[in-house]
Amino acid sequence: MGSIESDIDKLTLKLGNEEISPDINQLMEKLTLNLTSSSNLDKDVKPLLHSIKNFLLHSDIEFFDYDLLIELLDAIVALCPFEDVLAVFSVDDLVAALESGSRSLITTVCKVISAAYPRDIFAGTPLIDELLKLYFDDSAVVSIISELEKTFDTLSTNQLNRRRILENNLPTIMNAKNSNNSTTFCRLLDLLKMLAANVSFEEFRKDTFSVDEKTIREAMENDVLVFIHICQYVCELLNLVIKGHGKEWIVRYIDKTFDIFGEAYARRDELYDVSHFANSYLLRIFSKISYLDEKSYIKNLELRHFPLSVDKPYCVDFLTVLNPSYIVKSHKELLQELNLRPRNVHMFVNLIKDEECFNIIKDEINSKSLEAMPYLEQMFLLVGLTSELYGIHHLTHNIPAIMNNLIDSGNNVTEQVCFDLRQKVFENLLDADPQELSIWLIPLQSEYSNILNGRSKRLSEKHKVADEYI
């Protein structure tokens, strides 16, 4: 700790000097590194905080690394008592910094607010109001918006802060929602995503959090970037429902919009921008909807807008993203017509996730189909297959030639992505019950050691476990 204390004193003096030497950047870098790896800080840092504050307010030096100074400040406020921070940076100081237009000062305020303890200490001040005002200023640069979003993400975990945003600043929120400025509207959706993750049922106001059908339809027809942003927002709301955070009630506020997304997909041939730029986002929404407990939503969408059959060109896309348990219950006959090919590996990886679904398609996952694939696609499929116990059983008991090839192919793997996928297959297998692996256990352990530690020698003779197994 002596080195840190000494460097704090040195930097305090250097920042106060009229002449700043270039070596100050190295000192800040060293101090930042030491502080970020420390768990506590006993030194009184108020003099340094005063020096940082004054320096940011009154300096403009070309060679000085202001980003590094802010990174250092972030490390300091994370370790020191927050009352020390408040003793130097008053609320008035912070508000003035937000109004200054200076990226360095605004970023500094964001770091201070994010480190606040208790978390709601600024809820009764104008600071959050000023943050929102700056956030919805469409002239604000991307780096500032990024810092503001990090700050809102932290603030939104506290109820009093959420109340300040959603109640005290409701006019600001609604102005942004009704704005014709697409940048402002999209920023609002990003803010609402952060808030939605933390709000209770009582805090969730329909007029605030729901996007009406008219707005979605206008974006679908005229502004694909806004439409994509709405898709991302709806996906995030659906995620909150699916993940079981007790937010199932969100569905009732957004289910009326589901049909518009189905319509957008059905009209993709005439909606050029939607077809070329938003297709994947629509598929993501349909995927999320298929995982809701209430299956009538996805069933009705399918019947109205994208009926599934093997002759439909979009069939593979939907079998790749929809909940496989829904697919097997609604389209068992469709699964029986599938053939495993390199181009539809992602589809099979999705279908493998459900055991009933897997039992219908497993005969397609055989030595012939796998050996005909490029190595990358084969490893990708094996990662999916070995993620399930029944998939491991199928691999180790029914396609030993592929197991043998998996173990023997290490010397021929040159691409990093193939190496990483192969390693993941080994890890999935070795996580299984050793009895399930049977005679494959020792060769797998031996080859996995080679993966982790490198090969001391090239094997002169390939494993012949498959022959023994047969």
**Domain ranges within the chain, ordered by starting residue:** 1-88, 365-455
Amino acid in position 277: F
Express as a percent the part of the chain with pLDDT over 70.
96
Give the distance from CA 358 to its chain's centroid: 28
What pLDDT shows up at residue 455? 59
Q: What is the pLDDT of residues 298-337, one digit of tens each?
A: 999 999 999 999 999 999 999 999 999 999 999 999 999 9
Gap between the Cα atoms of 440 and 295, Å rounded = 41
CATH numeric code, 365-455: 1.25.40.580
Task: Judge contact between 288 and 242, C-beta under 8 A.
Answer: yes
The whole-number average pLDDT for the span 349-361 is 98
Geometric angle at alpha carbon 132, from 160 and 52, rounded to 5°: 90
- Is the pLDDT at 22 greater than 90? The verdict is no
Task: Judge contact between 256 and 213, C-beta under 8 A.
Answer: yes
- Is the pLDDT at 467 greater than 70? The verdict is no
- Is the pLDDT at 457 greater than 60? The verdict is no
Which tokens hold the place of 335? 């699964």
Q: pLDDT grade, residue 458 (50/70/90)?
A: very low
- Is the pLDDT at 46 greater than 50? The verdict is yes
- Is the pLDDT at 34 greater than 50? The verdict is yes
Q: What is the pLDDT of residues 390-444, one digit of tens each?
A: 999 999 999 999 999 999 988 888 899 999 999 999 999 999 999 999 999 999 9
Q: What is the pLDDT of residues 214-252, one digit of tens each?
A: 999 999 999 999 999 999 999 999 999 999 878 999 999
Express as a percent the part of the chain with pLDDT over 90.
88
Cis peptide, bond prior to residue 171, ω within 30 of zero = no
Which tokens hold the place of 222? 């005229």
Gap between the Cα atoms of 4 and 39, Å rounded = 12
Q: pLDDT grade, residue 466 (50/70/90)?
A: very low
